[in-house]
Amino acid sequence: MKLLPRILLASALSWAPVHRCLAADPARQAFADVLSQVAELFEVKAGPPRTLMTLVDVVSARGSDAGLVGRPVSLAFQAPDRLQLAAKLGKDAVWAGRDGQEIWSCRPGKGPALLGAPGVKRGATRADAGIVRLAPIQLPLSAQQLALLPYVCQVDGLSDQRVEGARCRVIRVRPLAQAKAALQVPAFTLTLWLRDGEPLPVRVAYEGEDGAAVTLAFHQTRLVRAWAAARWKIPTIAGAKVERVALSQVRKAIPPVLEVFMTPASLPVQAAGK
């Protein structure tokens, strides 16, 4: 899926008159507002932290992600380095998460839970060599670059639509030719359904020039008081064994329905000497 990296790669160009056009372009302003809210989720600010909670449903997909349709994923995120995912595979519950310098995977009844961290040797491969720490979870672009994105894309307002009974503003985003040429950004079409009072779009549709396409629906999205530290830990299940292993072993154990949300943005690494 790799949705965010593809969407957010088209940036880094600006034009002199750009700031004058927002007030006269509601669709472009709406896109800018969404990007600003997304950027804030990844910032660590003074004051009480907040946890983002949402249920992500793959409504439709074409290409490598087609097998994920109909498998909703519960997602929680708190900057800078906490992430938790949960889903069902048939009747089995599966979890995966990151808690600071640890990542974990848990599937009750399907073997031991795995807990990994930099420096753990058990099961280590070349992928683990030289990793000294996990970097904070970040977007591919800085907040300043995200702020430029509305000005290097064509942003069109479409007719309002109803999603789950509520009226939504719909906007369509495509990179401009200048952005594609300067940044070698592949062509894409991004459609966002925006509902008043929601911190994120309630639906996102992405289509790339390679034919890959995916539509995601976000349900019950909210920002809540920061979860207690213990809630980010690997779940404690009676009789279940927890094994400490190398990071690569945990990542291999994460099922595809969750893995697409875990990499690459949520597991950046810092190699020795950098």
Arithmetic mean of pLDDT, 72-94: 90
In the Cβ-directed half-sphere of 112, how many Cα atoms lie within 13 Å? 10
pLDDT at 14: 31
Question: Is pLDDT above 80 for 75?
Answer: yes
CA neighbor of 7 nearest in space, from 161, 141, 136, 163: 141
**Residue 105: which H helix or E strand, with range?**
strand 102-106
> At residue 71, does pLDDT exceed 70?
yes
What is the structure's pLDDT at 175? 86
Cβ neighbours of residue 208 closer than 8 Å, sequence gap 6 or more: 6, 186, 187, 188
Residue type, 233: K
Higher per-residue pLDDT: 41 or 142: 41
pLDDT tens-digit map of 103-134: 999 988 788 899 998 888 888 888 787 777 88
Decide which of 176 and 131 is more confident: 176
**pLDDT value at position 134?**
85
